[in-house]
């Protein structure tokens, strides 16, 4: 296949690129070139700004693709732009949506592609829904060859999936666990969640590429492994060889006392129990199975992060926030006890 990825160097797209190259496909990556040093051998970089339609049309002049996938489309104007540029030039356009678009709070914890799309808590999710609606309208009215993919929480060797962190990612939480400091876990930690290694996601994604049965379809790609947040944090601590010191905190409280957008990422996503049923994916991609168990994948991620200082991004602001929350909860306990 001849493939064009818009973006192409992120957590999800990098694994897909590597898999396609290993299978002998021709892969073009269109991005601004800030991470071109990380491009896998064999990938062809096209340096440009996707927001500049004239520039992109010049870069891809005369080129047609079996598949175009946009990994950095987040709002309707992004997919409208892609539609203008690639209509008639690709056999399949893949939009990366999000499983956070599913109904929140859910009426049923079991998520399928038939679950209603509705998330009043998170603008990010509502924008993804609007993108899907535009593209499916173009499919129904003009046979625009779209496939919609809905990932959930996907990770790679450069990050550890955590339920609550600051603006600089999850490393500060890993550091707190490693140092034996109290770690905030939203809610009581028993809500169900699914994390998927990017190598497993790539298998499902590549199986949908060039697949005539995937045209006009929305497909979720996740692991079949379901964990509680308590189990996820415990697995991280076990991989570090330390004891976990959890402090479980109401998600409402965390959202109300911080400047972070936890209303969207928690109330509209991670605090809801969800279990993904991947029957549709397995029908479209026979033989698909997610093989990387979380306790295995997180050990690989932590080993990589510990050996790569550039991945060890500190977040003193979030660290201080955690300390204040822990202190406030301890003071609240003392206040209540004093009134006995």
91 close to 67: Cβ distance less than 8 angstroms: yes
Q: Would you say residue 80 lies in a domain?
A: no
Number of folded domains in the chain?
1
In a domain, 24, yes or no: no
C-alpha torsion sign, points 104, 226, 247, 308: negative
Orientation angle between helical segments 76-86 and 123-142, nearest 10 degrees: 30
230 found inside a domain: yes
Structural domain containing residue 231: 92-336
Q: Looking at the domain assignment, is residue 14 inside a domain?
A: no
Per-residue pLDDT of the chain (340 residues; tens, 9 = 90+): 999 999 888 899 999 999 999 999 999 999 887 666 677 888 888 888 888 889 998 999 999 999 999 999 999 999 999 999 999 999 999 999 999 999 999 999 999 999 999 999 999 999 999 999 999 999 999 999 999 999 999 999 999 999 999 999 999 999 999 999 999 999 999 999 999 999 999 999 999 999 999 999 999 999 999 999 999 999 999 999 999 999 999 998 998 888 888 888 888 899 999 999 999 999 999 999 999 999 999 999 999 999 999 999 999 999 999 999 999 999 999 999 987 6
CB 131 within 8 A of CB 72: no
In-domain check, residue 20:
no
The residue whose two tokens read 């064009």 is 4
Which among 179, 181, 158, 312 is positioned nearest to 246, based on CA atoms? 181
CATH number, domain containing residue 281: 3.40.50.720
**Residues making up the chain, counted from first to last:** 340
Instruction: Confirm whether 30 is domain-assigned.
Output: no
Please choose, from the candidates 269, 12, 330, the residue with its C-alpha nearest in 3D space to the C-alpha of residue 124. Answer: 269
Rounded to whole angstroms, how far apart are CA atoms 65 and 87? 11
> What backbone phi and psi angles, to 5 degrees, belong to 287?
90, -5
Give yes or no for a contact between 87 and 70, defined as CB atoms under 8 angstroms apart: no
Residue 315 to residue 322: CA distance in whole angstroms: 11
Q: Which two tokens stand for residue 225?
A: 């492994």
**What local confidence, expressed as pLDDT, does residue 36 receive?**
64
Q: Is residue 210 part of a domain?
A: yes
Asked if residue 52 belongs to a domain, the reply is: no
């Amino acid at each position: 296949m001849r493939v064009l990825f818009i973006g192409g160097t992120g957590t999800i797209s990098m694994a897909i690129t590597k898999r396609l190259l290993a299978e002998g496909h021709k892969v073009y990556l269109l991005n601004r070139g800030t991470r071109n040093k990380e491009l896998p051998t064999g990938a062809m970089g096209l340096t440009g700004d996707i927001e500049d339609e004239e520039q992109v049309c010049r870069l891809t002049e005369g080129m047609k693709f079996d598949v175009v996938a946009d990994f950095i489309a987040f709002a309707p104007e992004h997919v409208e732009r892609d539609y203008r540029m690639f209509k008639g030039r690709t056999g399949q356009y893949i939009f990366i949506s999000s499983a956070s678009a599913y109904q929140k709070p859910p009426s049923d914890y079991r998520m399928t592609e038939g679950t209603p799309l509705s998330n009043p808590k998170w603008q990010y999710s509502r924008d993804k829904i609007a993108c899907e609606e535009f593209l499916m309208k173009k499919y129904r009215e003009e046979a625009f060859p779209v496939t919609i993919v809905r990932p959930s929480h996907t990770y790679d060797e450069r990050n550890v999936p955590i339920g609550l962190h600051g603006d600089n990612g999850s490393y500060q939480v890993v550091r707190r666990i490693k140092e034996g400091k109290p770690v905030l876990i939203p809610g009581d930690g028993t809500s169900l969640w699914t994390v998927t290694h990017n190598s497993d996601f790539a298998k499902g994604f590549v199986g949908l590429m060039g697949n005539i049965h995937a045209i006009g379809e929305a497909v979720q790609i996740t692991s079949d492994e379901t964990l509680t947040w308590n189990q996820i944090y415990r697995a991280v601590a076990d991989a570090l060889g330390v004891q976990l010191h959890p402090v479980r905190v109401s998600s409402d409280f965390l959202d109300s006392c911080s400047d972070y957008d936890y209303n969207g990422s928690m109330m509209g996503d991670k605090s809801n129990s969800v279990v993904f049923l991947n029957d549709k994916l397995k029908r479209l991609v026979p033989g698909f199975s997610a093989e990387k168990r979380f306790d295995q994948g997180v050990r690989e991620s932590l080993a990589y992060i510990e050996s790569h200082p550039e991945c060890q991004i500190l977040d003193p602001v979030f660290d201080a926030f955690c300390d204040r929350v822990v202190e406030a909860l301890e003071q609240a306990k003392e206040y209540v006890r004093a009134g006995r």
